Amino acid sequence: MSASLILIVVMAVLYASGIYLMLERSMTRVLVGFLLVGNATNLLILIVAGAQGAAPLVDGETTAGEMSDPLPQALVLTAIVITFAVTAFLLALIYRSWRLSTEGEDDMEDDVDDIAMREGEGGVTAEQLEEIDSDTEFEVPDDFETPQGELSADDLKSGTRGEEKR
Amino acid sequence: MNTLVPLVVLIPLFGAAGALILARHPRLQRLVAIIALSGILAVGIALLVIVDSSGPLAMEVGGWSAPYGIVLVVDRLSALMLVVSAIVLLAVLLFSVGQGLADGDAETPVSIYYPTYLILAAGVSNAFIAGDLFNLYVGFEILLVSSYVLITLGGTEQRIRAGVTYIVVSLVSSMIFLASIAMIYGALGTVNIADISRRMAEIPMDVQIILHVMLLIAFGIKAAVFPLSFWLPDSYPTAPAPVTAVFAGLLTKVGVYSIIRAETVIFPGPELNPVLMVVALFTMVIGVLGAVAQADIKRMLSFTLVSHIGYMILGVALGTPEGTAAATYYIVHHIVVQTTLFLAAGLIERVGGTTSINKLGGLLAVSPAVAALYFLPALNLGGIPPFSGFLGKLALFQAAAEQGGFLAWTLIGAGAFVSLLTLYALIRVWSLAFWRTNDEVDGYEFDLFTPVVDRPGTAKVKKARVIPRLMLTTTAAMVAVGVALTVFAGPLFGISERIGQNLEKSSTYVDIVFPGDSGEAIDD
């Protein structure tokens, strides 16, 4: 089996830069990284197909040995379609993430539960109440009266304790 | 008989199309979804009966003969997986219908929920019947893409954050899988699993090991095997309860199923079995230690999920028919029980308003039904006799003891210890959330357990406190299925043992696809 050195080098560069980008915190870079890795993988499939040859049509003139292998091309085509669909979804996700983010960034955020665990608090602090509320399937209504009167519904939503406000 | 095989993929795909067209008619949409999944269940049961009595089926799609065309294979393992996954998919669908009806469908964009869910079902079924690696990859992609949609359903900040972790990790694993398919094609010139199996001996051992490791990493990420399991507890708990339930029950098991296929058919040699055993050990122990530390029920359950994947890997790593049989039984048990527990967590969330055990209390008095529906599967997962969790672990330990050796005995010890810690984590939830009274809850902030009518609040909150009957019934049905696994453990383990024997030699699988010429190299 002979393979094109240029293709192999291009594939290696695509893989390297793609993986580097995927390790970034910014979602857009992760997306670009994913695209590069995806195309590197497509190139890999093409490389394993061997040297290029005639179109694989049984016309009685070209022999099987002269034809290029059609299966990897079919595989690449499928992979491209899948990558395309996932890219479209990722773009929508990034847009949504950017809309939700207050600082206008699309960075990955830390996990509140992980931070709570690291700080040795299995329990819940006021800052995390908001996060936990958004976990649940229903919300605390604005006029919801808390029994002890220590925390009002507004405090729960804004994530601050009543004392801090006063 | 072969015509039944593609139905398990076609029915949900057409169901999804129908459900999408009926987006404006929620009632019809639900009906289509329920009919489609009942259809898969019926076909799955028919396939299991046929395959178990009269041998495996292989269907060449489009009439192209293997290895040139795509081949769909249903043997006992595939058929059993199809049946169990259909049961779980149907139960979770009914649960979410119940939840959706109660919430007035305001929280979730329900018009895409059912079509996406059906496509997920199609992907899972496709992965189970795939006879070539690339089709397995496509099956994975179908189920993953629909799972991306389901995990970010509603697009809240939490779900987007958790979804991004899940999606990026899944993308990486898909790319590794695709690259390993490419390398296998480069080495062997085929992607047909049976063809790969009979040609694998032709290539040098070092190349085999590289391909083997690549495939195992790809499947290991999907199955959440340590050290590739970090993503799971971060991403699963934030999704809606039914979505988490079906993900926990099925998606990781598709990964485990693929590992079984890889270990028994593609690379039947024992080279990497010790590595798998060590991985199983760490998966079990690290997973359960995470579970013990968690204060949130859903997160705790996600960690136990990781931990129990270790048991299945142990069964596979033994490389004996007994080990594979025990792993199969354990997969069936775990799919059912883990899904039930996540459904129960959904009920807890509905009654208590949260899944944090630091804030819950007195649930036993408020809702004895939910308490019972949590308690039974919790004991089951913890491995209390006579439940199926105990039987599965016993079978695994027996298989490991028969093989003997230092690693096997270490794993038996670790398995028993992990089972105990699982029980501890589950019972801690029981005693904190259910058994203690409201007064004992430190810093008790929400008065969630008094009757709702006394509270000023919106109609939505009032509704949320009442558990819809359909949700309760479905969870109860899943608990019943879990108990049935114990009652009918004999026949079920019979099937598992036959599966183990089928998978003992890779030539059995090759014979299904290429009748009569197993073990000999082909010339073309």
What are the boundaries of each domain within chain A? 5-100, 112-165
Q: In the prediction, which pLDDT does A117 show?
A: 62
Contact assessment for residue B286 and residue B226, using Cβ atoms and an 8 Å cutoff: yes
Task: Quote ipTM for the complex.
Answer: 0.82
Q: In the prediction, which pLDDT does A116 show?
A: 64
pLDDT over 70 percentage in chain B? 91
What is the reported pTM? 0.85
Best residue in B185, B294, B463 for a mutation probing chain A (most A CBs within 10 Å): B185
Answer whether residue B441 shows pLDDT above 70.
no
Cα-Cα-Cα-Cα dihedral sign, residues A14, A18, A20, A21: positive
Give per-residue pLDDT as tens, B470-507: 888 888 888 998 888 888 888 888 888 888 888 888 78
Q: Using CB atoms, pick whichever of B155, B183, B443 lies closest to residue A96.
A: B155
Answer whether residue A103 shows pLDDT above 60.
yes
Q: In the prediction, which pLDDT does B450 show?
A: 42
Alpha carbons A26 and A148: distance in angstroms, whole number: 43
Q: Using CB atoms, pick whichever of B175, B237, B238 lies closest to residue A38.
A: B175
Alpha carbons B153 and B98: distance in angstroms, whole number: 17
Q: Using CB atoms, pick whichever of A71, A89, A123 lies closest to residue B295.
A: A123
Alpha carbons B337 and B325: distance in angstroms, whole number: 18
CB of A126 within 8 Å of a chain B CB? The answer is no
Residue range B159-167: mean pLDDT, rounded:
85
More confident residue, A96 or A114: A96
Q: In the prediction, which pLDDT does B28 show?
A: 86
Give per-residue pLDDT as tens, B196-236: 888 888 888 888 999 999 999 999 999 888 888 888 888 88
Q: Which CATH number fits domain A5-100: 3.20.190, 3.40.50, 1.10.287, 1.20.120?
A: 1.10.287
CB of A84 within 8 Å of a chain B CB? The answer is no
Phi-psi domain of A22 (left: phi exceeds 0; alpha: psi -120 through 50; beta: other): alpha
Phi, psi torsion values for B514, nearest 5 degrees: -120, 85
Answer whether residue A156 shows pLDDT above 60.
no
Answer whether residue B106 shows pLDDT above 90.
no
Phi-psi domain of B447 (left: phi exceeds 0; alpha: psi -120 through 50; beta: other): beta
Cβ–Cβ below 8 Å for B234 and A135: no
Scored b (16 or more CB within 10 A) or e, A11-42 reads beebbeebeebbeeeebbbbbbbbbbbbbbbb
**Structure-token match 């670009």, residue found:** A32
Q: Which of residues 425-454 of B touch A (CB under 8 A)?
A: 443-447
Residues of B in contact with A89 (CB under 8 A): 145, 148-149
